[in-house]
Structures are given as C-alpha cells and as structure tokens.
C-alpha cells in the first residue's frame, strides 16, 4: 500500500454516515471513508451475522470489540477478539466472516 497526497486529518467515526449491508443472516453497519485508492471502514456486525459471499479482496482488519470467526475457503477458521488483527492480500485466500455475539472491526483495504 502506498499512501500519497494525503494531508494529516482526523476522523470522528460518529460523524460518518452509516450504510447497512445485509448478510446471509444479520447485517453489517459500515462507516466508510475513501482516501484515494484506500478505503477505511469502521464496521459493526450484528449478533448472528454471516457474510453472504466469499471475499477475495485484500484487507488489514483489527477487531475492536466482540468476537468474529473468519473462515477460509479451504476450511480453516480463525477467531478474532479485541486487539487481534489479520491481513490478507487481494486474490489470496477467499474468506468470509461470522459472529454469534456481534463485533466492531476497523478495516483498511
């Protein structure tokens, strides 16, 4: 990732508009900022959320609250809890997320 032409700035995430994205079950509430080719999001997953697709986009993701399970297409699973992050490249392992309890993530992609 190359960050260019981006002056110092603050984001108050409570001021960023929310968009709702339904999952196979539950929903995700996204607050999204776009900085050139870099998308930065604060995402709240509802309890019982299951993604409705396998994602092949690269991300750097940090779990802030709750817990989330990330499943890879090859069957491996990883549990994220507060303070745990993952990173994956574009086109690497397809993955999808679920949470029984709900969670908040900070995502850069």
Answer whether residue 4 shows pLDDT above 90. Answer: no
Distance between CA atoms of 29 and 26, rounded to whole angstroms? 10
Pick the CATH number of 40-108 from 3.40.50.300, 3.90.950.20, 1.20.1250.20, 2.60.120.10: 2.60.120.10
Confidence class of residue 3 from pLDDT cuts 50, 70 and 90? confident
Q: How far apart are the first and last CA of the chain?
A: 9
The pTM is what? 0.91
Exposure string for 64-90, b = 16+ CB within 10 A, e = fewer? eebebebbeeeeeeeebeeeeeeebee
pLDDT tens track for 86-108:
999 999 999 999 999 999 999 99
CB 63 within 8 A of CB 99: no
pLDDT in tens, 30-67: 999 999 889 999 999 999 999 999 999 999 999 999 99
């Amino acid at each position: 990732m190359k960050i260019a032409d981006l002056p110092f700035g603050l984001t108050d995430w409570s001021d960023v508009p929310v968009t709702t994205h339904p999952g196979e079950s539950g929903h995700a509430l996204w607050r999204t900022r776009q900085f050139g080719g870099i998308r930065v999001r604060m995402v709240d997953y509802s309890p019982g959320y299951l993604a409705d697709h396998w994602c092949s986009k690269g991300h750097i993701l940090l779990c802030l609250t709750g817990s989330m399970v990330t499943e890879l297409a090859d069957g491996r699973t990883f549990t994220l809890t507060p303070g745990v992050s993952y990173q994956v490249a574009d086109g690497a392992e397809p993955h999808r997320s679920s949470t029984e309890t709900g969670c908040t993530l900070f995502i850069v992609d």
